[in-house]
Structure 1
Amino acid sequence: MMQKFIVLGEGYGDIFELEAIIEHNHHRIDKGIFLHADERPATFVLVMKPVRGNFQALYTIYQGVPYKDGSGRKYQMISEWCTAHDLSVIEFKTRDPEDFHDKEQFFQYITGVLRLNNLIPPLT
């Protein structure tokens, strides 16, 4: 199994892309995951079901979901869309993305965390 993080646009583009994916492909979605780091906007990962047996897309809003004590407009919108399509949403506290040299190192770390928690399949 191979997972690939696909970062959605920035600004408002990310939320519109995410809404379209959830609305039109909800049958292909496995789950949604909010990744929280202290004092930073959350990262959201939309985990798709594997296709062709060995590829799994992980659509991501990287550090783009303002969140404070369970509130934030983007956070609420994403949660509502997932609830409307009966998609499970998991929340994790993770290391700060700024702890890593670049975004790809952060994604490698998150891949390991998700695999260890059986939220995505192991590498095959």
Structure 2
Amino acid sequence: MIQQRFIELGEGYSDIYELFELMSTNSRRIFKAYVFSSKDGENEKVSIAVSFTPATADSHFMPIYICREGIKLTADKPSKRYELFIEHAKSLHIQPVRLEVKHSSLFPETQLYYQYVIGVLRLNHLLPPLQ
């Protein structure tokens, strides 16, 4: 059975470059890239994430690296970090999937939020089902 788990890198400030490096050095393993949009009051916050296939045929671990809700989107000014993520993914021939999800502050624990997002991804066939 494949275990899918989020690994939080940060909120998408300087840690976004760590995500880019993971994408570049493991480009052959990228399963999908994601943009999770959520409302925090009047603000739209964006999380960026990338899932990777297991490292070996014997491995049963599918990591999903995420920079959670640190990118604020406004209609009048696009976010440079968001644009960099889209550009970097496209340079690797990956088209990020954009989904609206609930904001993590609605969950009493971050782990429950991640279980919810994994459920949304599975329901939309954006992660393989449990076997």
Q: Same fold (TM over 0.5)?
A: yes
2:3 corresponding residue in structure 1:
2
Which residue of 48, 68, 72 maps to 1:66?
72
Rounded Cα–Cα distance in structure 2 between residues aligned with 1:32 and 1:47: 6
In structure 1, runs of 5+ residues without a counterpart are: none
Q: How many residues align?
A: 124
Give me the CA root mean square deviation. 1.7
| Alignment pair present for 1:100 and 2:104 | no
Aligned residues of 1:46 and 1:59 also touching (Cα < 8 A): yes
* 2:91 equivalent to 1:90: no
Q: 1:49 to 1:13 in 2, by over 3 A?
A: same
- The structure carrying a bigger strand percent of its residues is 2
CA distance in 2, matches of 1:88, 1:48: 14
Which structure has the bigger radius of gyration? Answer: 2
Shift of 1:53: 4.6
1:115 to 115, 119, 122: 122
Which secondary structure does the structure 2 equivalent of 1:79 belong to? helix
Match of 1:43 in 2: 47
**Does structure 2 conserve the Cα–Cα contact (< 8 Å) formed by 1:50 and 1:56?**
yes
Percent identity over the alignment is: 28
**Residue of structure 2 equivalent to 1:75:** 82
CA shift, 1:89, in A, is 0.7
Alignment gaps of 5+ in structure 2: none
Q: Deviations over 1:19-52 (max 9, x none)?
A: 1112211111111111101224211110111333
How far apart in 1 are the matches of 2:72 and 2:52?
Answer: 23
1:48-85 Cα offsets, whole Å, 9 max, x none, are: 11333521000000112222349211100000000011
Report the CA distance shift for 1:27/1:112 in structure 2 as closer, same or farther (over 3 A).
same
Distance in 2, Cα, partners of 1:34 & 1:56 = 18
